[in-house]
Amino acid sequence: MRTKIFCDIADLSSIKRFNKKIIVKGFTTNPSLMRKAGAKDYESYSKKILKVCKKKPISLEVFADESKSMIKQGEKISTWAKNVYVKVPVINSKNKFSGEVIKKLNNKGIKLNITAVYTSKQTEKILKVINYKTKVIISIFAGRAADTGKNPIPEFTRSIKLAKKFRNVEILWASVREPYNYLQAKQIGCHIITIPPSIIEKIEKFGKSYDQLSIETVKAFLADAKKSKFNI
């Protein structure tokens, strides 16, 4: 199985550029990325993105914290384009499982991306409230888990195993920290990995020999030394 690469970005100019890349199969966004991109109005900015990204799947996240409001936002976001996945956090800020939200939206045929997932137990809870038909992505945050000294791989392998019963479910490696994460995701059979633009550009350069890397490194050091006009 090939692990699909999504681009994790909300900046409009970057989406325009990366939408043209064959390697990029979809996009993910979140409220933090939207804010960083300078979005003032969520709906109008999202629709600008959708004018650029018309075919590839793109995840747009709800930002409410109560179930009723999350459902209402999810229903509205889903109408903006056919390629939209409504992104729903697995819990709200009060640590309440978003099961009601997931179940209602899923049963209405709305494609979902369940985000901020860290454990296979959370994956199991999600799978218990969805059907076997409507597409669902489960985004597990590898990098943030690793930042705390935890190994995310066992949670991924268990989640992937659990999801095998569902043809409509894909496990996504989120919170990428380095290009090597892509190879790790491929190795364990992860369906998707969402990656920031700068790291995608590094992945495109995969295949260089150690000799090439040594030469490039030394040349970079030499160039910086000359620019600094160092002298001993």
Domain range for 109 is 4-228
Spatial neighbors of 77 by CB under 8 A, at least 6 apart, are: 46, 60, 62, 84, 86
| Model pLDDT, residue 124 | 98
**Residue 160 confidence (pLDDT):** 98
**Distance between CA atoms of residues 55 and 27, nearest Å:** 11
Domain count, the chain: 1
125 pLDDT band, cuts 50/70/90, is: very high
Over the chain, what is the mean pLDDT?
A: 97
Could you tell me the two tokens for 133? 């038909």
Q: Return the pLDDT at 20.
A: 97
DSSP string, 175-230: S--STHHHHHHHHHT-SEEEE-HHHHHHHTTTT--HHHHHHHHHHHHHHHHHHHT-
Dist CA 207 CA 129 (whole Å): 42
pLDDT band at 37 (very low <50, low <70, confident <90, very high): very high
What number is the average pLDDT over the span 72-100?
98
The confidence band for 1, taking pLDDT boundaries of 50, 70 and 90, is confident
Q: Torsion angle, CA of 186/188/193/197, rounded to 10 degrees?
A: -50
Which residues make Cβ contacts (< 8 Å) with residue 2, sequence separation at least 6? 186
Percent of the chain at pLDDT > 70 equals 100
Greatest alpha-carbon pair distance for the chain in Å reads: 72
- The residues annotated as belonging to the active site are 87
Q: What CATH number has the domain bearing residue 170? A: 3.20.20.70
